[in-house]
Chains A and B, each alone.
Chain A
């Protein structure tokens, strides 16, 4: 029998998760059994402590608020396509929260039993519901749920890609091997005969170590070891092993991560199974030239800013590919930062060559803000500063003049390359931000001891610095002085805390309520101000208050915090996770629309994306709560 109404319901549901992963027949069956509920404003779908219905709800039109009865706190807002009342799937107990129409609403109520039948046969839908269920419960980052929240959503989205990086890497199938008691001399002979640059040492066919040309150069040619010794003496051990299906991207990351150029391929992927092949960096370079280490090598050979620009464009393509394949965003940012840094270094050396004289004294070039935190994936504007060694008064003006003109050249080149000038002039070419060590110390001390809104804002940019080029001692001294000042003037942390709470995260995505209200980006969501910065600010504040030095990256900061405050480990790790998701999201958006990725058009988001983002808001809210309590900020607000 034709069922026009069910067809219409089908058409609506099919666009929303988890229904989008159901088969046509499954969803149509579900649609035929939907009940259409009309709620007036303030009418309840269910109340706290009411026993659980045998169905859950999808908002068709209107909006439903999920409330906590005790304090009438609005926990979540659901609009078109949102699911609520999933507790019905548990089929036991009572509702913990109340659902009330915020405006007149039409709901589809769906039999939980029917859905249960379907998800038992549809693993994807099952995963999805788990994820969405987890975002709706009180503690989404308790240990057992932590992984399902983020990982599962990701697994649904994963698409096949034809990028080379996800192809299985072609490794050498017949690696050259020898036994541990082979002499170095014999091993070298075997390598020469086979014209290879490395040999794997095996025991019962399992890889236990490796010798490369480099080992022969550094350990033998230097006379450190005799060529009559066993290879065991000089081999690098243990080896890094991977299974046969390793992808090009995985291999690259593994090599970067372990700073090695050879990977052993074994049957099971562990070092405790039979060696089946070897994958060298060279094998990967052969696969494609757009490889990070190749790019960095190219940077070193370039002569002009225009060449650097070309390399930066290539890096952008690389970024595109990595994002497409869901490579962990932390590794991507490492790679891109490495490329950005080497480009900046080159711009500096090129500029020094253009100067009439070498630098009058040692100096340090600092990347600030997101570049300083190594979180800059897209091309954004440049934020940098320069510190030079303390010099006598007589020489000061001349020295400053030199570094200002050097900075002019560097920032100019960076602009050509694609890092546009900072509109707020936070650049080393600005006399304000090209200072001697003593001046910087004074500056920071002033910011810390006499904070006001502007100075706090500067702190949030300048305290995330990273030495790109020059004298590391200068930077260490700067950091020292910051911590000393904070130590003496702890109330500064409260100010920084207030600043970290400036942007509370949205509760959820709900029509226009959480998007920008005016200006060019009206009706768009500011992912930077509303989601990324709160995490960055929180991480900075907490490491500063814990006296942790040398952690300038938000992910690393949270991981370090998780280490030293085990009682808050779950929260910190979920913050770090949320940050990675948000950063990836911003990067994706930026690449897709060729923009900074900062403002997201909510209409462009599908439900999966919304759910993913929504999952990130909860840790932000909780870390802000922690800050509010720890720094006793309620009194200051």
Chain B
């Protein structure tokens, strides 16, 4: 109701981001820009934990573009020493780190209105949304796909109720696990998985962009 009033107070970068969604060009599976991304965090508590780094790479049709990628590391106020051994990012490392707000600016400027893709996307989206909230900004407006859910559309996925980890999908698709547990490395691997799933889906039957967002597992709940 007060949307127009709020809008005025948003910083320019948010308005620019939001404007991308006014473009109503119809996209199909071959023209849509996907951004596959992953976040490394200090932990799994979406409220308390913080993002350490974001890695992202874009894809159109069957091609990922390394030149159109993002890799940022965030300065930390809170630091959870327990997860250091997983992601290897120390509080004071040698990598250049930026403020959370700067990371958001870069991230929004990068993703634009792309369809976001992540493995177990809900968590990563939630983490980003928490950042936005701390900056008094609304939630992300992008459409989201989850490779964990997309995988279940494939015939080769036998147990539809199982939660597949990224590692498990790597072995299903025979992908070498380089740079696991770095945001960019995981984003890249997720990207390969995504392209493979899309490839397999479009080979098996006519697949549209819209149909990707349909989650067969929810059928029973409706």
Which residues of A approach B to under 8 Å, CB–CB?
1-6, 8-9, 31-40, 43, 104, 106, 109
From the candidates B64, B69, B71, B196, name the one contacting A104 in the complex (CB within 8 A): B196
* A109–B60 alpha-carbon span in the complex (Å): 14
* Given A1-B71, A4-B71, A8-B185: A35 and B66 interface contact (C-beta under 8 Å): yes
Determine whether the beta carbon of A8 is less than 8 Å from that of B62: no
From the candidates B64, B95, B178, name the one contacting A2 in the complex (CB within 8 A): B95
Task: Name the CB-closest residue of B to A12.
Answer: B178
Task: Name the CB-closest residue of B to A37.
Answer: B63
Residues of A within 8 A of B65 (CB): 35-36
Residues of B within 8 A of A4 (CB): 55, 71, 179, 182, 184-185, 188
For the complex with contacts A37-B64, A40-B199, 8 further pairs of A-B residues with Cβ separation under 8 Å are A1-B71, A2-B95, A5-B71, A5-B187, A35-B65, A35-B66, A36-B65, A104-B199
Task: Name the CB-closest residue of A to B94.
Answer: A2
Residues of B within 8 A of A104 (CB): 196, 199
* A260–B118 alpha-carbon span in the complex (Å): 77
Determine whether the beta carbon of B192 is less than 8 Å from that of A106: yes
Offer 14 A-B interface pairs, CB within 8 angstroms, sorted by A: A1-B71, A3-B66, A3-B71, A4-B182, A4-B185, A5-B57, A5-B184, A31-B66, A33-B67, A35-B63, A35-B65, A36-B188, A36-B192, A39-B62
Residues of B within 8 A of A5 (CB): 55, 57, 66, 69, 71, 184-185, 187-188
Determine whether the beta carbon of B185 is less than 8 Å from that of A37: no
The reply to whether the CB of B191 lies closer than 8 angstroms to some CB of chain A is: yes
Residues of A within 8 A of B73 (CB): 2
The 8 A CB mask of B75-102 against A (1 = contact, 0 = none) is 0000000000000000000011000000
The reply to whether the CB of B167 lies closer than 8 angstroms to some CB of chain A is: no
* A4–B66 alpha-carbon span in the complex (Å): 10
CB distance from A81 to the nearest CB of B (A): 15
* A590–B108 alpha-carbon span in the complex (Å): 61
Residues of A within 8 A of B196 (CB): 38, 104
CB distance from B14 to the nearest CB of A (A): 23
Which residues of B approach A to under 8 Å, CB–CB?
55, 57, 62-67, 69, 71-73, 95-96, 178-179, 182, 184-185, 187-188, 191-192, 195-196, 199-200, 203
Residues of B within 8 A of A34 (CB): 66-67
Determine whether the beta carbon of A3 is less than 8 Å from that of B188: no
In the A-B complex, the 6 residue pairs with the closest CB atoms: A4-B184, A38-B195, A36-B64, A40-B199, A33-B67, A34-B66
Determine whether the beta carbon of A2 is less than 8 Å from that of B66: no
Residues of B within 8 A of A9 (CB): 66
Residues of B within 8 A of A37 (CB): 62-64
Residues of B within 8 A of A109 (CB): 63
Residues of B within 8 A of A38 (CB): 62-64, 192, 195-196, 199
Residues of B within 8 A of A2 (CB): 71, 73, 95-96
* A31–B73 alpha-carbon span in the complex (Å): 21
From the candidates A6, A36, A39, name the one contacting B191 in the complex (CB within 8 A): A36
* A43–B96 alpha-carbon span in the complex (Å): 41
* A3–B53 alpha-carbon span in the complex (Å): 12
* A38–B62 alpha-carbon span in the complex (Å): 5
Residues of A within 8 A of B179 (CB): 4, 8
CB distance from B103 to the nearest CB of A (A): 12
From the candidates A33, A40, A106, name the one contacting B66 in the complex (CB within 8 A): A33
Residues of A within 8 A of B57 (CB): 5
CB distance from B186 to the nearest CB of A (A): 10
Task: Name the CB-closest residue of A to B95.
Answer: A2
Determine whether the beta carbon of A36 is less than 8 Å from that of B199: no
CB distance from A74 to the nearest CB of B (A): 22
